[in-house]
Amino acid sequence: GHGHRRRVPEVAFSAPVGGSDRAVRSSGIQGINSLSFGNKSWIGTALACDSKAAAQRGHVCRAVQQSSKSKVSVVPLDLESAKEPPLNTYKPKGPYTATIVSVERAVGPNAPGETCHVVIDHGGNVPYWEGQSYGIIPPGENPKKPGNPQNVRLYSIASTRYGDSFDGKTASLCVRRAVYYDPETGKEDPLKNGVCSNFLCNSKPGDKIQMTGPSGKIMLLPESDPNATHIMIATGTGVAPYRGYLRRMFMEDVPNFRFGGLAWLFLGVANSDSLLYDEEFTSYLKQYPDNFRFDKALSREQKNKSGGKMYVQDKIEEYSDEIFKLLDGGAHIYFCGLKGMMPGIQDTLKKVAEQRGESWDQKLSQLKKNKQWHVEVY
């Protein structure tokens, strides 16, 4: 079942269900190779570097024009040869012991809460495809079953199968700390904080972690048509799988996947400081203006047309004509983030469909039947 996928809602209503941990699902942030992320300069450095410096660092910088030569080379290419995605290579009874490479804060100083980009070394032993998840088993015993290990928590992988260092040995997660504030005192109660998200955000390079997976097929990127349209909708750390897709489409030189379609990302976060992977995404806009679109909904900084807070569904409504036309033409649409994002989005889509004289229920069942509809919420 999907019971263990439930996660703490973020921001104002971050009380864990029944005080237990439902770690916030994750996504990822680290620069090319070991460029520092702390000063937010990693992607700029990577893209502005000259080829000599790049060669010394073992990667090729992208030129502004669209050419495979400007993309980063990846290894090992036999990660492309499997016909089916790997599934549950490691199970909770026999998890894989991986090592933390780095943990970096992924948001600016004025972001509510903290989100970390966690890079994990799996030694190439737990390969995965973009859009899959890893399970993490935090240390300690299960409070509900003393003597047993903690339950597995699922996190969307935020890197491509080659990882942030392009060698197929690492995976990245994007983890928001689940923090519980006592409604009476307004003070943080560490006993009720999310066990796994805090464990991951507090971990240090060299720390060992217990891992399961990979799991999930819902968010796999359909690659049979490299010119397809992919509309990606995320709230917060739900951006994780899309970071993987976009790196595969625009950053990596993957010989058998040359993307020529349209990737359109909608990201909803609280404010500019909460934007995740913003430099990375902005660089794709500059390099691939015909293949990438990026729309942000900043709820605490922007107003929607009726003067309320701007949420991701307001952006969807703004572009609804185009979105519906693309869906009619076979576009894939993806939703990832907190469960609470879906009702508002569904209401908006229903309203738009009715204005267009269409039945949303009928349209939705058609999209599902055509495998154009991909949802992973937690």
| Residue 336 among the catalytic residues | yes
Coil vs helix vs strand at 90: strand
Instruction: Write down the domain spans for the chain.
Output: 77-215, 229-377
348 a known binding residue?
Answer: no
Confidence of residue 69 (pLDDT cuts 50, 70, 90): low
Torsions phi, psi for 133 (to 5 deg): -125, 155
Q: Could you say which of 14, 156, 165, 283 is catalytic? A: 156
Torsions phi, psi for 274 (to 5 deg): -90, -5
| Tokens linked to 98 | 């991986």
- pLDDT for position 190: 85
Asked if 200 contacts 134 with a C-beta cutoff of 8 angstroms, the reply is no
- pLDDT for position 27: 37
| Architecture label for domain 77-215 | Beta Barrel (2.40)
117 - beta bridge partners?
A: 104, 174
> How many CB atoms neighbour CB 158 within 10 A?
31
Crossing angle of helices 360-369 and 341-355, in 10° steps, is: 110
Q: What is the third-level CATH fold of 229-377? A: Rossmann fold (3.40.50)
| Residue 376 among the catalytic residues | yes
299 a known binding residue?
Answer: yes
Residue 44 has pLDDT above 60, yes or no: no
| Tokens linked to 212 | 């399961």
| Residue 20 among the catalytic residues | no
Tell me what the mean pLDDT of segment 91-118 comes to: 98
| Tokens linked to 110 | 């004025």
Model confidence over 247-280: pLDDT tens digits? Answer: 999 999 999 999 999 999 999 999 999 999 999 9
Asked if 284 contacts 246 with a C-beta cutoff of 8 angstroms, the reply is yes
Cis amide bond preceding 139, omega within 30? no
Q: Alpha carbon of 231 to those of 180, 214, 260, 320: distances in Å?
A: 33, 24, 14, 12
253 - beta bridge partners?
A: 73
Residue 364 has pLDDT above 80, yes or no: yes
Crossing angle of helices 341-355 and 320-328, in 10° steps, is: 80
| Residue 174 among the catalytic residues | no
Residue 82 has pLDDT above 90, yes or no: yes
| Tokens linked to 263 | 């990737």
